[in-house]
Structure 1
Amino acid sequence: MKLEILYEDAHLIAVNKPAGIPVIPDRFNTDAPSVNKLLEAATGSRIWVIHRLDRDTSGVLLFAKDELAHKKLSLQFQEHSVGKFYAGLVNGRLAKESGRIESPIAEHPTIKGKMIVTKSGKPSVTDYRVVSQWPLHSLLQFQIHTGRTHQIRVHMQSIGHPIVADNLYGDGEPFRLSAIKKKYKLSLKEEEERPLLSRLALHAYRLIFEDMEGRERMIEAPLPKDINACVQQLNKQQSKHTF
């Protein structure tokens, strides 16, 4: 698999992470593809991981080429001075066009790998803004000011609008055209409907940070084809609904 490089200099390299691939190797399957291994194979040199995205989240992912860059950029993430922006398709229509969620997050007491909102959790801050809304879905922009595990997913579940196709915090249902199009019919070549999107509908589209020369850098990754296909169909069908 060839990774799309979004930015590169002598110290840093950023790629557009595909959905479905972990940032680092799975400890239970070390031979499976991972972004850092693919990048090291492509560049022929060691790569340092600065931050991570969930396996099914796509978008901007930044790596360091040396220890000094790794230290400086990691510190920016730790101090929450990096601008981290996401786009996500959620279930339902939001009552408010924008808002801030400040619910603390902690690990689930019994389910490994799952997070929950709880008063005893770590401070977590997510800003959201509605970009587009339809009868059953909304496209949102998120900015996270902390970096808790599954932060956006947990926060959106907590207000009743989980990310589309989230199998941990939502219903996990893929996005199908038949769900929004009246009188949907399969084509003669199809035996069953193929979902427009079958993974977590979350994309890291913008990252703002200070590079090794002290200059502000902004790296962006366009909305991926699967999420964009859903948005296009929602726009196409919305004229047939009154809301």
Structure 2
Amino acid sequence: MVKVSPEIIFENDHFIVINKPPGLLSIPDREGKEISLKQMLQQKYGEIYTVHRLDRETSGIIVFAKDSETHKFLSQAFEDRTVEKYYVGIVSGTLPEKQKTIEASIRESTVKRGLMLIHKNGKPAITDYEVVEEFGKFSFLQFRIHTGRTHQIRVHMQYVGHPLVCDELYGDGIPVKISSFKRNYKLSKYEEEEKPILARTGLHAQRLRFTDMLGKEYDLQAEMPKDMRALLQQLRKNS
């Protein structure tokens, strides 16, 4: 269960922008047993409208509207692709192409609910990536998505053979520990077993650029959470 209270990046009378912690649902799921970010905001503000969402394990920037007019406007902006969406992520391996646009249509599996696949009859999906840093076994990437398909970055990175680290659906799902990349790693005498540095999909929604109903422009960013920062710090030290 997520204990941290979500950090507010920006707020006005019409919408609120949050840095969602990893492990927290954006909106209630079908079972409705777990608290979601939307419900937390409803408890505080009453009426809250979903504009877009992030996967449970993905951290980062997310917008909710406070009134139906703003909701309609912002939802349309996402639909029309006028919102610029940037992510950062840690993937497996070293990519031969340091910058690339992946265009591959995505649809849900007919066999396994919730699993998305590359399929010629799917919805168009476009992801740009750029390699920011390389660590041999892992690479740190920046992404810009031009469409908002479910699991888009995760599916596209699996498609090019470099899935996001710790991704249970599209990668190996194995938590990253220091011993997996540091030679001669030894446990301290106080530890019975090594704890992973990162144990969730290594993806963070970093930045949104958009214009509101009054024509005001916003360029908002969400700081990466501790787990991804800690892994990058260790990779830089040991690469």
Q: TM-score, normalised by structure 1?
A: 0.95
% of aligned pairs identical?
49
Q: C-alpha root-mean-square deviation of aligned residues, in Å? A: 0.9
Distance 2:124 2:201 in 1: 24
Q: Quick one: distance in 2 between partners of 1:211 and 1:2?
A: 26
The one-letter code sitting in structure 1 at the alignment partner of 2:42 is: E
Q: CA deviation at 1:120?
A: 1.5
In the alignment, residue 166 of structure 1 is paired with which amino acid? D
User: 1:81-100 residue pairs with structure 2 within 5 A?
Assistant: 81-100=82-101
Match of 1:66, as an amino acid? D
Q: Write the letter of the residue equivalent to 2:190.
A: K
Deviations 1:87-131 (A, max 9, x none): 000000001110000011111121111011111111110000000
Pairing 1:128-207 to 2, within 5 Å after superposition = 128-207=129-208
| C-alpha distance in structure 2 between counterparts of 1:107 and 1:11, whole Å | 33
Given candidates 27, 34, 37, the residue that maps to 1:35 is 37
What is the TM-score normalised by the length of structure 2? 0.97
Paired residue type of 1:36:
K
Mapping of residues 1-243 of structure 1, within 5 Å: 1-28=4-31, 30-41=32-43, 43-238=44-239
Aligned residues: 236
Alignment-mate amino acid for residue 73 of structure 1: L
Check the 8 A contact 1:11/1:212 in 2, yes or no.
no
CA shift for structure 1 position 31: 4.0
2:47 and 2:183 mapped to 1: Cα distance?
A: 52
Does the residue aligned with 2:62 lie in a helix, a strand or coil? Answer: strand
- In structure 2, give the amino acid aligned to 1:34: S
What SS class does the counterpart of residue 160 from structure 1 fall into? coil
C-alpha deviation, 1:71, in angstroms: 0.4
Q: Distance in 1 between matches of 2:16 and 2:228?
A: 25
Instruction: Give the superposition deviation at 1:25.
Output: 1.4
The superposition leaves residues 188-234 of structure 1 with CA deviations (integer Å, 9 ceiling, x where unpaired) of 11111100010010000001111132111011011211011111111
Secondary structure, aligned partner of 2:149: coil
More off after superposition, 100-109 vs 58-67: 100-109
Any stretches of 5+ residues in structure 2 without a counterpart? none
Give the Cα–Cα distance (whole angstroms) in 2 for the partners of residues 194 and 13 of structure 1: 35
Moved over 3 A (4+): none
